[in-house]
Amino acid sequence: MMSLVEEEESVRESQENAFVCRLAKLLMMSVNKRINVLKINELKRNLGFPDDYIVRIVAKYPNLFRVVNEGGRKSSMEIELVHWDPQFAVSTVETAARRSGNIRPTFSCSLPFSWVKSWERFREFDLVPYFSPYVDPRELVEGSKEMEKRNVGLVHEVLSLTLWKKSSIVKLGHFRREFALPDRLNVLLLKHPGIFYVSNKYQIYTVLLREAYVGSKLVEKDPLVVVKEKFGELMQEGLHEYNQRRRHINMEKRRKKGVPLARVDEVKCRRRRSENADSDDDEDGDNKLGGLFDPEERKRFYKVLFDDDTS
């Protein structure tokens, strides 16, 4: 564990330039080129920022950032962009277009070709010119196709900056004012299933970049992601060892009490069958976690998203 902690700190130190780039891009996409610190803190884990990023990044690069606190309260502290670097004002979509030799930046659609209607909507959406998320959106008409293209591009860019290319929809919604996003952000995301995948695993609605995944596997892993996966593997290994030790201890206690092990196994089997039966009953109730592939759950989810009377 100590070795992994040291490895993680080493990776963070080597990625300082990447953190500077991510923070600068985040501020450059905002309308006023400044964002509240509390809001940035909500995404700092997703972006890989260290806990002391204000000292390690903001204070270290006064030519790019500065801390502003006009209200004088801790909750009103903001980070403001001081210098506009045109090298940072290039989106992931534009970079991919340059690498492939395409003149016109376009989104990729990661849907099966059997989804005919979704592909038709994507091709229609693709005809609208690409609008960079680093360009001031106030010249666009609210509700227009151009504004929708810009909003999709901005969410795409924000997700591209995160370690796992995904984020909670609720957290993204907290940046509506800073990024000039629509109030019903979830509706925008669901309109573009070829670009975004909306998951409600554990009843936490999350949006992922489809192009960043093959199945459930992240295509390109940030060095920090690799280290964090090592942490997860170590924790799983420790949990397995702990369970094995507890099992041997319990078996030894039962042996000393004279309880036949065959009888213990029979009790366990009965308990598992009972739990499985309870689980099957729950699937018809309100406790089911389900997913968007489940018809009933999908109907409920869409009703919440599209019902104007729902708060």
Q: Six-digit token pair at 269?
A: 């089997």
Same domain for 78 and 12: yes
Q: What is the pLDDT of residue 292?
A: 45
Same domain for 96 and 66: no
Q: What is the pLDDT of residue 114?
A: 86
Q: What is the pLDDT of residue 281?
A: 45
Which residue ranges of the chain lie beneath pLDDT 50? 279-293, 301-302, 304-311
Pairing of the two strands 78-81 and 213-214? unpaired
Same domain for 98 and 77: no
Report the alpha-carbon distance of residue 185 to residue 206 in Å, rounded: 12
Domain count along the chain: 2
Q: What is the pLDDT of residue 110?
A: 84
Same domain for 205 and 115: yes
- pTM equals 0.76
Report the alpha-carbon distance of residue 172 to residue 224 in Å, rounded: 22
Q: What is the pLDDT of residue 71?
A: 80
Position 184, amino acid: R
Q: What is the pLDDT of residue 290?
A: 42
Same domain for 21 and 103: no
Task: Report the Cα 141 to chain-centroid distance in Å.
Answer: 28
